[in-house]
């Protein structure tokens, strides 16, 4: 499926299935199309709308969504040139692995499991895998 078709199906809430690597691809495509802050807003609202359309409105998680967007954007900035999605994915397999996902390096499990983290972006509470002690640093 082309990137354009992928975006159209996501925005039309008709993309099936929609697994973790699809989330990362969609975030990457939005970050390629829009400035970072606009991409965050568009992707976050689109993902919440997509979850609601699939009958799972409580599935959207703001901290996980934003954290992955920031990590993807950082990787894009470190790349010497614009990459096609397949090249980006091949260069960043750690972003595509949900089971052992990269957020474990930045967040404690209990932080990500919290209702606060689900409803608003929380700053990481780990540095290089070490807990910092804060669990409620939020960015409204």
Q: What is the pLDDT of residues 35-45, one digit of tens each?
A: 999 999 999 99
Task: Please state the pTM of the whole predicted model.
Answer: 0.86
Q: What is the pLDDT of residues 79-97, one digit of tens each?
A: 877 789 999 999 999 999 9
What pLDDT was estimated at residue 62?
96
DSSP conformational letter for 13: T
Q: Are 6 and 24 in contact (CB under 8 A)?
A: no
Domain extent for 62: 3-139
Q: Which residue would you say has higher pLDDT here, 134 or 32?
A: 32
Q: Which residue would you say has higher pLDDT here, 98 or 140?
A: 98
Q: What percent of the chain has pLDDT over 90?
A: 77
What pLDDT was estimated at residue 132?
59
Residue 140 has pLDDT above 50, yes or no: no
Residue 134 has pLDDT above 70, yes or no: no
What pLDDT was estimated at residue 129?
55
What pLDDT was estimated at residue 8?
96
Q: How far apart, in whole angstroms, are the C-alpha atoms of residue 117 and residue 18?
A: 22
Domain count, the chain: 1
What pLDDT was estimated at residue 93?
95
- Tell me what the pLDDT averaged over the chain comes to: 90
In this structure, the number of other CB atoms found within 10 A of the CB of residue 43 comes to 25
């Amino acid at each position: 499926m082309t990137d354009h078709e992928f975006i159209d199906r996501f925005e039309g809430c008709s993309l099936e299935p929609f697994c973790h690597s699809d989330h990362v691809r969609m975030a990457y495509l939005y970050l390629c199309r829009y400035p970072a802050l606009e991409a965050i807003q568009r992707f976050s609202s689109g993902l919440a709308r997509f979850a609601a359309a699939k009958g799972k409105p409580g599935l959207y998680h703001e901290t996980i969504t934003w954290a992955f967007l920031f990590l993807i954007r950082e990787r894009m900035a470190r790349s010497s040139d614009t990459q096609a999605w397949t090249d980006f994915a091949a260069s960043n397999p750690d972003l595509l692995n949900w089971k052992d996902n990269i957020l474990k390096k930045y967040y404690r499990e209990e932080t990500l499991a919290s209702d606060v983290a689900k409803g608003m972006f929380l700053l990481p509470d780990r540095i290089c895998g070490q807990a910092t002690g804060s669990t409620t640093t939020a960015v409204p």
